[in-house]
């Protein structure tokens, strides 16, 4: 069974940092691109970042560029999102998602985790 389990969310003050993790199982993790997508309270889904299967290529939404870093450890079957300089508008449920392909160009996200809540507030 393909499974994605996010962790690392919580309450953080503005300007703070958090690192999210996504543990993958049930598929060959190193063969697929991965993404992070978020949903703020009362709003729609917003794509945040993507990384290709080998980890050598990444992409970011303008809203997080320069503050967030996506990475992966294919030996540990784990995806990460390092979030720095957090703002209240970053408050959302963060989901990791598996792409159908090794590159993220098409953005066909076919499997999603259950999400982890990040709250940025003083």
Longest Cα–Cα distance in the chain: 40
Dump pLDDT digits (tens) for 73-92. Answer: 999 999 999 999 999 999 99
pLDDT of residue 55: 95
Cα–Cα distances in Å, from 91 out to 13, 44, 109? Answer: 11, 13, 22
Q: What is the mean pLDDT of the chain?
A: 97
SS3 92: strand
- The residue-averaged pLDDT of 65-79 equals 98
Give the Cα separation of 50 and 104 in Å (integer): 6
**Residue 106 pLDDT > 90:** no
pLDDT of residue 107: 84
């Amino acid at each position: 069974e393909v499974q994605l389990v996010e962790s690392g969310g919580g309450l953080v003050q503005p300007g703070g940092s958090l690192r999210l993790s996504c543990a993958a199982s049930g598929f060959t993790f190193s063969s697929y691109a991965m993404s992070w997508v978020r949903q703020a309270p009362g709003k729609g889904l917003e794509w945040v970042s993507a990384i290709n299967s080998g980890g050598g290529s990444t992409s970011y939404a303008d809203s997080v560029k320069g503050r967030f870093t996506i990475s992966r450890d294919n030996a540990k079957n784990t995806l990460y999102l390092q979030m720095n300089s957090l703002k209240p508008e970053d408050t959302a449920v963060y989901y990791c998602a598996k792409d159908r392909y090794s590159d993220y160009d098409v953005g066909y996200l076919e499997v999603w985790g259950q999400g982890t809540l990040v709250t940025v507030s003083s």
